[in-house]
Structure formats: structure tokens, C-alpha cells
Structure 1
Amino acid sequence: MADQEEDFSSLPLPDRFMHKNWKVRKEGYEAAAKEFDIAQSEADPVVRQFIQDAGIWKGVVADSNVAAQQEGLGALCSFLQIAGTQGCTRTRNITITPIVEKGLSSTRPAAKQKALEALLLYIELDKADPVIEELIPILSHKQPKIIAATLSALASIYHAYGCKTVEPKPVLKALPKVFGHADKNVRAEAQNVTVELYRWLKEAMKPLFWNDLKPVQQQDLDKLFEKVKDEPPPKQERLLRSQQAIEASSVGGGEPEGVPEDEEDVAIDLEPEYMAVDVMQTIPKDFQDRLASSKWKDRKDALDDLHKAINHPKIVEGQFDDIIRGLAKCMKDANIAVVSAAANCVELFAKGLRRSFAKYRPTVMNPMLERLKEKKQSVTDAIGAALDAVFLSTSLGDCLEEILEFLKHKNPQVKLESTRFLIRCLRTTRDVPSPPEVKSITDAATKLLTESQEVQRSAGAEVFGTLWKIMGDRIMAAHLEGLDEIRKAKIKEYHETAEVKAKYKPKPVAPPKAAAPPAQKKALGTKRPPAGAKKPAPAAAAPPPPPPVEEPPAPLAPRASSRPGASKLAAPKSGLAAPSGGLRLQKKGPSPAAASPRRQVVSPPPEEHAPPTPKLGLGGRGLAGRPLGKPAPPAAEPAHMPLHQPTGLSAIERAELDELRAEVERLRRQNEEIRSDRAKLTSQIHELQNQNAQLIEDHTRDVLSIKAKETQLVRARSDFEAAEQTVQNQQREVDRLKRELSRQVRATSPAPLEISDQIFADNNASMGVGTGARFGDSGYGGGGLYARNRSYVTQPQSPVGEGKENVGFDGFGLTRSASTRSAKLSPRRGGNAGSAKSTSVSSSSSTPLGGRMSPADIGVPAGNGLGGGVSLVGSGGGGANGAESWKRAAEVTQNLKARIELMKAKQGLGRSQQ
């Protein structure tokens, strides 16, 4: 321990830095840090020692002991703070890699923090490019934790200094490789770096690396971008030493000469380096012929082939005049697919040719702006992208006149899309508009604020807000003066959220140098009197009047002292106090020396009151030839009274003048307020009128809608009542049919039984004789008699044609009987006298109303040997037409009864004749 303590106290710092004992090294680092902290400048011997022996720092930051390494990183930070640019440039090449490999990957958070601080100091002291060049190769390290630590350090660097100070392109180009790393921590840190770069660059950074990522990675990054998309633009949190010096000088004594632009105005070059491609050889030779085809499909195919041929980031300039004219003509094509394809080709030409495309701008811009009337969004998007590319190849001044012309277009769609194009131009331009251009833009935007459509008014307010962001408050105050508060508030919202790349910076006004010329004039005025010895003498005659007005000269002293050369003017006043001395000087002649100072005393008032100057001068000279007697003072008093009287009256006059000016200013402010209030009220009146018109229109629409609904309701009620009436009628009809059915059932249910009883109750002999005698001749001869329907039964019966066919009543209808019995019955058999002696009656059903009746044959024996039969077939059923069928059955029954009575009557007549 004694040896170690002796070494600690006796060894110099470099020796302790390289000691084999880590405790000695640790104490040496701590001691060095204290020495660096108290050093006054980089010229201090302790600092100079480590600047000259810069290689020692490599072992310090890569110390094998983590505790000693932590203190060594702290000593390096203290050294860089005092060593300045020289210490930075001499040590960074040998320390950055060990700092990353040993410091950033350390297990101690304090060591990591100090290692990151050392990297930030290396950037702060000089510039960021050498540090980034050292860090990029480490992204290919074999250890994933070192790659992840490097990516984390890069994210911190861009967060502190921003992409305007630290070049982002090398890191963006290296991102696809780290995104494909197998370690998840490396991929996570790569996402953090990408999100930090997106905060600064937004969508402009994607062309450099986006297509090299997998779709899944792109989706994950898009989700992360959405979280920071709406954040305000970030600002540089840490300044370089050069930026700190500029800021200090601008705060201390105004802006020094040679100050560069603000960091916000520095453009970030994200344009990839591409090789120009000659596309003239790949464009189809028959392109113009195919483009002139009458079929839209041929024109579309020609444009697609052109798109494939010119789809390169950079194009060699060539003779594209005919092609551009053809594309401009396609903007008037009736087919929207052709228009979209032509717009895509124009966009590729503008991006590929860049500034060389400016000469083609007049050919295509007007047709594209005119075609913005298309309502399909895909077409307007394609034309808008082409217009943006054309604008980037030119400038705002080149395009502004045509854009403002289309802001007056009669088509609202063209006007709106042109306004949006103007807003995009103002956001992307790097050229600050000139005052006439600002006036033209604000006039057009003011007209847009009075449009009837809200989207047009919002677009006009956005134009105002974006232009306000570029030009600043002082320039735009005059253009916003006549607007009402509601519109100003809307414009203010767009002004706060606008993102622009151009900033108006007024040129510093040179300090006025008007103090020197008056001094020269006064000096010249003092030299003029010696040229002539006689001229100064009259000026000496002026002192006699001062005695009566001796008090007023006092106010002259402060006024003269405020001017250059006031000390010279104060000296002659002592000479003015003695009028007698002045007279003696006038007589003796040494007046040139004394006259010149008196002219200086008299000269200041004439400068303030220019008109009296020649009169006073002439009056003094005119009085010089008069005798110096009593008449002289009255003549001299008017000469001196204007000199001192204005000084006394000027205070009163100035007070009155100040009051008048204040009153005028107050009246002017009142006038402005009244004018502003009137404009505000006028605007509110217009707004209320628009709202009233909208409300009236809505009310009219609602009234018409209500009337239509009422009409529909009335019709529906009428239909409902008609339907209800129909239902009631049907219900009554159903009820009536039910009653009729029940009545018929009650009336007709015993009828068949009564008929059978009557038939069986008849006398068989007489029945058979009558029937045989009658029906045998008529063709029934032993056949069956069937019940027929109303139409058949009620027909007049002829003695010959009756009974030609057998008819049965089956299920409420009349059908021909197909029974074998009726088929066997023929006229011949019926005419046989001895064929039958008796008639039989059979029935297969005893329920004529409740069920289906089977045919019944009724046989009547004939007394004279003739045979005849009557067959009655009845049926009953419960179908849908049951009531009607029973009604018919009742009628048939009545007809049968009538015929039976008729038959009985005929039989009785026959017997009487016999």
C-alpha cells in the first residue's frame, strides 16, 4: 500500500494512465479530470501534454477494468471540453471505435452515458461527418450488442443535432442491412433510428431505403410513423461550437457579417445518386402513330409502353418536344384512362429531366390545370402528382402567373384543385415570393375567402396561413388588416400548422452615416469667413441685441450640445455676453476669428427652421451698413427675436403639435377600429346571410319531405281502409255463407231418407207398371234413372229423347255413370215385356249429407211385364263449395219430388184409361 500511495503522489499523470494497477489508473483518471476542469484554456500545460500525446487516450477509453474505464471516459469528456477543436481532431480517430466497443456496450449505465457524451462532444467541437464515418463500419460488427449500441448512439446523435447538422444519407443507406439482422435487439434499435429520422425527414427519406425492406417491416414502420406523424417539427437541441459562437455574437452585438442561413433554412439533400439513362433508344418508334389512333385502347397501350421506357430516376436530356406535345394533347382525351397514363408519363419526365424539364412547362401545365375539372379522384391525383413534379423542375415565379389565372376559373373543381396546387407549391418552394407576388397571392386568396362553398374558403385561408409562415408577421400584417376576426382566427390555425421550406429574412439595414456630412458643412462654414475680412464684420454687429434677451440663450445650449460639434458652439457664448467687446472687435477689424464662432451659434436655429434662414441672414447683412445707434436695436430685435422666440414658442407649439398628432393618431385608430368592426360586421352579415339561405333551403327541403310523407301516409291510410272494408265484406260474406250452409244442412239433411221412404212406400205393382210402360218406350227399358243437376233436370222432358244416357250426381256435380248396370241397360232390354217382373232399389250410403253417397239403383216392378229401373246416385262432402253443392242437391231433390208426383199422376191416368 505504501508503494501504491508513493506512486499516486509522485508519478505524473501519463505514467499513472498506463500503470498496471487499475486502482492507480482510476485515481489518475480522476486526478486528470479535476485538472482539466480547473484549466483555463487549451494552452494550459496539462491540456497541451495530452493533446500532444493523444495516443494515450485509446487505452483510457478501452481500460480493461470497468470502474477505471468509467472514470477514464469521464476524464476524456473533461479533456474535450477544454481542449477544443485541436484536441477533438487529434483524438477522435483513435478513440471512437474503442468508445463504441467498450463504452457503449458497457454493463454500467454511467459508463454508457459518458461514452455517448464523448461522441456528442466530438460532433459539437468540429462536425459530425468524421464521427458518422467511424460509426457506419461498426454496423457490420460480428457482435449484435455492439451493433445495437451503435444504432442507439446514432438515434441519440440525430435527436440532439438533427438531420440538418448530421448528414442522414449514410445511415439511411445502411438501414436495410441492419433490418435484416438475425438479432431482434438490432432490429428494434434500427426501428428507433428510423423513427427518429422520420421525425426530421418525413416521407422524403423513403426513396433511399424503403423498397429494400420487407412488406412486414414496412407495415411495422408505418404503424410507428403514425405515432409521430402529427408531432410538431423537431428542433435542434444541441448546437455546435460554431453555431454557439454565431448565436453569441448575434445576441451580443447584432448579426455579424458572414453569418450563414438559419439551420431551419438549410436544405437536407436526400436525393439519391443515379446514373442518367438515355431513353430515346427505348421509346417505341411508332409511338406518335399509335398515340394518334382512334381507338382509346391503342392510345393507352402506347402510353404504357412510353411509361416503361422512361421509368428511370434520371434521364439524359434529349429532343422530347413532340412527345411532350402529344402528352399535352392527351390531357383533352375523352377517356380518363388515357389521361391518367399521360399524367404519369409527364411526372416521370419531370422527375427524370429535373431542371431540364423547365422548357416544357408551358406546354403541359395549362392542359393539366384545365383537366383538373375531372371529378374522378384517381385522375385528379395523377394530374396533381404530375403538376408537383413539374413545379419542382421550375420555380414559384415561373408557375405563379398561370396558377393565379386558374384560381379565377369558372369551374369550382378547377378552382379548388388549383388552390391546393398553389398551397403545395408554397410548402415546397425554397424561393421566397417577391412583394408583388405576395400581393397577387393575397388578392387571390382574399377572393377565395368570400366563396359560397366552405371548402373554397378553407383553401383560401390555408393559402394565407402558408404564405404567412413564409413571409412573417411584419409583411403579412398589412394584407391581413382588412379581414374580420373569424377569418383571421382560421388563417392563424393554418399558419401554426403550416410546414414550409422557405423563410423570408429581411436584409439588415446599414447604420445611418448622416452625422458626418453636417460636421463637414459646419467646418466648411467656419472656413468661409476668413476668405473675406469685410464680411465677418457685419455678423459682429449682432451682439448688441443680446442684453435685452439675455435669458433665452440658455435653451440654446442643450440643443447645440445634442448636435455634433456642440463643444465648439459653447465657447462663443462667452463672447456673446459682452456686447461692448463685440463692438470694439467690429471697429478694430480682427473679426474673422470672432465672427465665425458667432455664425455657428446662429446656424443651428436656421437648420431647424429652414424658411427663416435666408431672411435672417439677409436682415443681418442688411443691418450691417446702418449706424449703430438707437434705431439699430429695434431693427436688431426682430432679427434676434425669431432666433430665441421659436425656441420658446417651439415648446408650446410642439406640445400642441404632439397633442394634435396624438389626437390624429387616436382618431386614426378609432377609424381603423370602426373600419375593422364594419368589415367584421359585414363579414358576419354575409355569413349570416349564407347561413340563412342554407337554413331556408333546408327548411324548404324539410317541408317538401314532410308533405311527401303526409301524402304517403294518406295513401297508406286509404289503402288500409279499403283493405279493411274488403276484409269486412269478405267476413260478412263468409258469415252469410256459414249461415246459409247451416240452414241448408238443417233443411236438406232428411231429404234423401224421405225420398227413399217414399220410393219404398209406393206400390210396387203400380210403380212397376207405370214405370215399365212409360220408361220402356222411352228407352230406359230396365235401365236406371239417375238424379241430374238443375240445368239438366229442369229441361223439358221429351217422351222420346229422355234417358238416352245415364247421368249420376257425384260430389255435387253431374257425371256420366260408368256403372256396369247402367251400361247393361239398353232400350231393347227395356222393351222386353217379360224380362223383369220386379224392381229393386239399393243404396250403398245412408248419409247423403255427411259423406259421399254411392250410386243407388232404384228398381220399379212393372205390372204389365215391362221392367224399368231408376238409379239415384248422391254424394255429399265437406269441400270448399259445400254450401253451393248442397243447394244444388236441394234443388235436385225438389225436382225429383215433382217428377215423382208427375209419374204418379200419369200412372193414375193410365189406370183410368184401362
Structure 2
Amino acid sequence: MAEEEDFSALPVEDRWVHKVWKVRKAAYEEAAQAFEKSPDEYAPVFRPFVQDSSLWKGAAADSNVAAQQEGLAALCAFLKFGGREGAVRARQHAVTPIVEKGLTSTRAATKASAVEALLLFVELDVPGPVIEDILPALSNKQPKVVAASLAALTSIFHNYGCKTADPKPVLKILPKAFGHADKNVRAEATNLAVEFYRWLREAMKPMFWNDLKPTQQTDLEAQFEKVKAEGAPKQERLLRSQQAAKERAPTASAEADEYDDGGDDEPAEIDVFDLAEPQDVYSKIPKDFFDNTASTKWKERKEALEALYAVVNVPRIKDADFHDVTRTLAKCMKDANIAVVTQAAQCIELLAKGLRKSFAKYRGTVMGPIMERLKEKKQTVADALGLALDAVFLTTNLTDCMEEITTSLAHKNPQIKEGTMKFLVRALRTTRDVPSKEEIRTLVESAKKLLAEGSEALRSGGAEILGTIMKIIGERAMNPHLEGLDDIRKVRIKEFYEVAEVKAKEKPKPPPAPVARGPPPRKVVGKKAPPGIKKAAPPAAAPPVEVAPPPLAPQPTSRPVASKLGMPKPGALGGLKAPQKRTLPGLGTASPRRAAAPSPPLDEDPPSPTTPKAPAQRMGLGRGGLAGRSLALAKPAAQAPLAASPSPTPYSNLAHVERAELEELRDVNERLLKQIEDARHDRSKLMSEIQELKNQNAGLIEDHTRDVLSIKAKETQLVRARSDAEAAEQTNERLRRELDRLKRALSKAEAAGANNGPTSPSSPNIGFGMMSPSHDDAGIYRDGGYPSGPNRNRMSFASTMSEEKENGESAPFPRNKLSPEIRYAGSAASSGRGSPARGFRRDVPADNNNNNNNREARPDPQSAGGGYTSYTDRSDSQAGSRAGSRLGEAPSTGTSMGTGVESWKRAAEVTSQLKARIEQMKASKARDQSPLG
């Protein structure tokens, strides 16, 4: 059997990608051992894999299962002993092969190495990129890849927690995993959801809960019940950055634990607000919201608020300008209907929870009206208002709400006092900021007033407020505020103090670090000081100061001169001949401020009677104060010609100056505190005035809106009235034109009758034809109708026949015997204003004189001898013969003339009646159009 070829002489990089799997496996094992034996992450063995990180892609997805196992083991060793740079470079090449090939392996060791590699990738950097590379595998076609990816995500969140790894990207796609067809995928999705519940609790449900089936929700609830009893989870593995931070500050954490009061802070629970994405709800508010909230019907107002509630009921709201919405909701707090008030309070609560810190600018708009509405005795309304106040408080702090709280605690209505007291207790329990001393003093004074109330609820509320404050600042700091209270009330306060649970606790300050002492003072060798001059002992905290002693030789021309730094110059003490006794009051004559300085304490050494006066008076501390003293002591005095022992320093006088400066600073501090109190008082007054002005402005805006609506209604009425007036004017003008036409027709008919004589056969017929009662306009006035009424187009054969019957006339021919022209002219064309028959009648008088000789008269069957006469051309012989054959012989001349005269008289009567009615109509229109009518 041939010996196997030895590939050990090849470089590791070449063997790493060799086509023989045994060579690759040996290279993986050799690299893993080299990584474990490396001294640090900068060893040369790591360099090839850092420079060419794509080598890990083949190792993680090796086609041979045995080689793949060793390749993943080598990757784990590389990540464990290598640095962050190599891990970051290898991550983009290795994570996807690990998820697709390593997690789905049938070998347990391979699968464990794959999971460990993913955890090491997270540990060396951050979890986000690793999770992003795993998420695409959840859409893989193979169910085993999806299930393995979900299991890997579960391991990551189990070890590092949801505070280190962001769960939002996974929560968004979790419903898709629950809807998968494979049961193993659904089982792994359930495990991941349970792991999320360990960290997030109820905050995770709004992200995906509504997308699950009811049976899945029931199964998850059963799994969640098992997790609730486990308590808060802890992060099992730390990132490299967290490990380094923990190693750097072990001492600080130990000191913090030493001065802690023993109460462990609860881990901050992840809120649904942090997981949700902001949603734009302002654009979804109904357009008629503001109009409906101003309606006079409470149901419309309530429905508008319900529509707003449905819009803002989201976990997180995108910030926008909600000033108009909050003003409307604040106005609804004054509504007479409690259902509207309750719905408005719920909308405020959702807005505050959805906006969080962005809602702080609307606090002043809604908090005051809500507290004023606390007077409602119905419990449902009080609960809704309380929840709204709690949500608003979480967006601000106790300092911002202090003014409204103190004002409502002093309200004359006991219901408002009680509701405000309960809100204050809840605020003190939830706040994480310790109130300032001024705020504590204000709250204590307000609570003490509640202790004297007649209601038991208010007295208990005052004691609960004091007990909660005591829990925050401590029992020792609270004792000065409880002076003057009887023992019964103190016992009651102590009971509330023992059961109170707060999140803000004022911890005692650690003792100051010991001050490092300076080097020992140098010994100056020189002459001794004159007898009688006593060396004053310096204070312990002051640094040693070396001062040259005055020379013993007399110098008459010298006098004490102070240097710029406040210390005496070398020649300042040269004129001393003998030590003189000086008393302490004489030292303060140089400055009036020193005269007011208090006397030194009893434990201080009195000044020596032989202490020279000049240095004490010329120290320069009257103006420079403490700053001048520090500079004078920091710089040694100028060297004297002859070295000598240190001269005495008036430290007792410096103590007096310090006390004077301290008293002056205290006075200034008191004045500043008084100014701050006055400014706060003025601010409260100004805020109340601003609130009143806001309320007045809201009322004015409401009145202005009402006036604008009224003006618009009046304008609408005016436009309608103008349109009616124009229509009436047009009708009147048309009637006037019709009357003129009738007058002209009548005058022409009269003129024609006078010219032709009473024997003319055509004159009566023409005149009556122009004013025939069967004419549409004449028929209108005959029936008593108006021109614009339904009788305008009234023209029927039956009405004409009825008139003829009343006059004793009868139609000579039946309707079916008439010619086509006459039949159509009498039925359809004669009834309208634009009919051909009307136009023909209008043209008859004008053409009467010119064309009368060329035409022949023919009686119209519709008028039965008394109507207008149809005319045909003489040249139309065939039509005339046919008409003659159908109509028969024409009536005799005497009969026609008599009938024409009688019809002419009727026309004149009808015309006079028409004129009278038109005048009545004009008078009626004039009365209608007059402003007084």
C-alpha cells in the first residue's frame, strides 16, 4: 500500500483550503492549538487570519462534517484568544455559514461550537450586527434552518439579556415564525417568546400579540405563568467592554455598597415605549374634531373624543404640534357632562404616555383644569382624572408641578384637596429625584395644614405625605420638620414611614478623603528672636510660613509699609525699639469691618502682649479678604539681609477676619434666599395671571368663532335674499315687457278695426287673434295665475271648448277633421312662448297691410269663429281646395261680423282685467322688496 503524501510542509493557509479534507482537518487542529498557546492577541499566529478573514467562511461551512467540527472549534479558539479586530473582520464572513451549515449539523459538538461562536462574536463587539446577520435565515425555505436560527437567537437573548441586545428587530418578525407550517419552527418561536417575556414582561405584547391566533395566545399565557415565579432575570455573560468596566472600578462599587442603606435598586424594567416605533397620529385626527367638540350636543362631543382616543391609542406617538388638541381637551375638563370629562381625561393620559418627555410643554395647559375637576364625587371620573395626572407627572418632575400642587392643597373644596393629596403621594412614590430643601419645606407646611382638617381622609393624607417625605430624606433629616406636633400625629406619621415605598432616596455622603499633608517645615538657622516676642503656633491646616524677623538696630526713618500681597515688607518692623503691650481691641481700628467681627472663641490662645502692632494693622486683609490672605501665605516673604527665626504671625486676627467674612457671606446668602423666595412668589402670581389670561383667551376665541359662524350665516341669508330679489326683478321686467307688447297689440288691433270698418271680415278676427283668450299669456291671467306658475304653458283644446260652450258657441268641426297644420299648431306648438304659432301671431299685425291682399282668411277650428284666423297664400290652391272640402262652406258674412265684434269686446274686457292684475302684482312686488316690508 502506497504511503500517504505528507502535507505538513505546506503553509497553514494552503492546507486550510486544500481539497483533501484530512489536510484541512489537520490544519484546523494545528491552528486551534496555536491560538491556545499564543501569549496575547497580537501574536503572529493571528495575523494571517486577520488579514484574510475569508478563510473562516470555508472552515465554518466545510463539506466534511469531521473537518467542519474542527473548523468551528478553531474559530472559537480564534475568537476566545484573539482580539476585537479579528472578530469584527471574521464576522461578516462566518456568521451566515454558521447559521446555515453549523447550527443545522447532526453532530452535537458541531452545533455547540456554532452557538458558542455566535456568542463569542457578540461578546467581543455588540449584539446588533450578529442578530442582523441571523434574521435573513428566518426566511429560509428549509424549516430546520429557521428553527436553528430561532434557537440561536434564544441563546443570545438568554445570555446577554434584552438590555444589551435590542429585541425590537426580532419582535417585528416573530408573528411570521408563529405562522410557519412546521411545528418545530413554532416550538422554537414559543421558546423565544418565553425568553422575551422573562426580560420584557407585558411590554412585549403590543408588538406582536394581536397577530397571534387565540389558541397560540392561550398556550403562551400558560407558559408565561411558569416564568412569572422565577423573578427578575440577570445577564449571564458580559461583553468585553462590560468586563473591562467592571475590572476598572471595583473599589468604587465597593464604596458605593458600603454607604448604601441596604435597599437594592430594582432593575429597570424595559418599557413598551422603548420597543415601539413612533407613529404619526396628528395627521389621523378627524378633520371635524374641533367642530364636533364645540357642538351643543354632548353625544357629538363624546363621539369626537372617542374618535381621538382610537387614534392616539398607540404605544409611541411621533412628536408634533398638539397645542390645539391639548387646549381643546383642557376645555373639555369644564364640560357639564361627566362622560365627556372622562373621555377627555383618557385622551390626555394616552397622549402623555405616547409622547413622554415631549408632552412636558403641554403640562401647564392641562394640569390646572384637571385638578379643578377633581371636585367630582363619582369614582369613575376621579379615577380617570387621577390616571391622567399620573401620566402627565411622568413627563415632568416634581419641581414643575409644585405650584399647581400647593395651590390645590390650599383649595377651599375638600374634594379637590383630597384628590390633590392622593396625587402628591403617588408622585412622591414614583419620582426618582430627591426634592430640594425648599420644596420639602413647602410640602411639609402644606401637609401640616392638612393634619388640622376636619375630615379624617385629609388628616390621614397629610400624615401619609409626611411619612413618604421622611422615607425619601431620612428620619434624622425629617425630625426638625416635625417639631411642634403632638405624639399621636408623630406615631401616625411613623406608621406611614415604615410602610412607604419610594424610588428616590437621599443617601448619606461618604466621608471626605483625608487631606494629604505637606512636607515638614524647613528649619531656618539664624539669630534668635528678641526676648519677649512669643512665637505663635500656626493652625494645623495652614501651611508653614517663613517670615524674616525685624532687625534689632533702630531705624528711625522706617515705618510699617504693606506689600502688594498684604504681607509686611522686610523693613516694616525695623523701627521697633522695644516690645509694647497691645490689647486685642486696638487691632480692629484699621477697618470698620474688623470692629464688627466677633470675639475669638475661648479655646484660642490670646495674643501675646508683646506682639508688635504694625504687622497686625498692615496685614492688608481688610480689602483683600480671604483671597488676599491665601496669596500672602502662599508666597514667602522677601529674604531679609540676615536670616533669623520665624517671626510671630497674628493667626488670631486672621480668625476674626474669617469670621467676619463668614458672617458677611451668611447675610448675603440670606438676602439671596429672600430674593429667590420673592421671585418665586412673583412667579406664582404671574403664572396664575397667565392661566387666567389663557382662560380668557379661550373664551374670546370661542366667542369669536361663534360670531364668525353667525356672520357666515347672515352672509348666506343675504346672498339668498339677493338672488331672490334678482329673480323677482327679472320676473317683473318680463311682465313689464309682456304688458307693453299687449298694449301695442291692442292699439294695433284698434287701429286696424278703425281703418277697415265694422264690415271688414278680417278686422275683428285679426284683433281678436292678437288678443284671443286662448293665447297662453291671456289664459294665464284669465285663470288668475302668475307668469312663473304652472299655468304659463296652459293651452289645451279642452279649455278652449269650455269657453266656447260658456259663450253659447260650438266648434263647427271635430278635432280629427282639422288640417295637419292647424292640428299641430293647436296642440303642441301653440302652448309655449317659443312656439311657431305664437311667432306667427306676433307677425300678423306687422304684415297685415302689406300681405293682406295676397292672403285669404280661414277660421281656426280651435277658436270656433271667435279665435284668431289662420292665413294661407292664395297661390296654394291645392291646400285651399283641400281645406274647403274638409271645412265645408264658410259662415255667412253677417254671422262672422257679429261674432267678431262680440269677441273684440271680450278681448277688451280681458285686457282691462289684465292691466288691473298687473298693477296689483307691481304693488305686491314693491311691498316685498321694500326694507320695511
Normalising by the residue count of structure 2, what TM-score does the alignment of the two structures yield?
A: 0.49
Structure having the higher Rg: 1
